[in-house]
Amino acid sequence: MSDRRLISSGSSFEQVAGYSRVVVDGEWIFVSGTTGYDYSNMTISPDLEVQTRQVFSNLQQALAEAGTTLADVVRVHYYLTGHEQFEKVAPIFGEYFGEIRPAATAVICELVDPATKIEIEVTALVRGADR
């Protein structure tokens, strides 16, 4: 029997696009690309730094639903829409991951929603945890 568990955000887009917000598979937790939308009211700030902080809030909530925290993140991918943005948000990354120090990659690309300036996905490993 599989230890695989799917966690949904409740978004209809997950069904349409065929993905899960979070996949828990044994000790591994995979969180899909996360944006800076405030899901409580479905708004997004035009400010990059505000979006970035909201992304981390959303990530923390998703990880909590999977029974873990940012402290267990071993890999992070940052997706930004412009080179100049990295310098603005790198200090925010450091606020959240400065002590954790996961392996990281930053990619400059176009994102699906034009209002979105940043998207972050993480992979966490929780050894011996009972979730």
- Considering the entire predicted model, what is its pTM? 0.91
Residues spanned by the domain of 87: 4-125
Other residues' Cβ atoms within 10 Å of the Cβ of residue 129? 14
Going along 9-100, which residue ranges are E strands? Answer: 22-25, 28-34, 73-80
Would residue 130 count as lying in a domain?
no
Distance (Å) of CA 67 to CA 29, 57, 76, 131: 9, 15, 18, 6
Is residue 71 included in any domain, yes or no? yes
Residue 45 lies in a domain: yes
Which are the contacts of 16, defined by CB distance < 8 A and separation ≥ 6?
none
Specify if 46 maps to a domain.
Answer: yes
Domain count within the chain? 1
Handedness of CA 37, 80, 67, 21 (dihedral sign): positive
User: Is there a contact between 78 and 92 (Cβ–Cβ < 8 Å)?
Assistant: no
131 assigned to some structural domain: no
DSSP assignment, residue 71? G
Residue 9 maps to which CATH number? 3.30.1330.40
Residue 14 within any structural domain of the chain: yes
In tens, the pLDDT along 88-126 reads 999 999 999 999 999 999 999 999 999 999 999 999 999
Supply the mean pLDDT for the chain.
Answer: 92
pLDDT for the residue numbered 14: 79
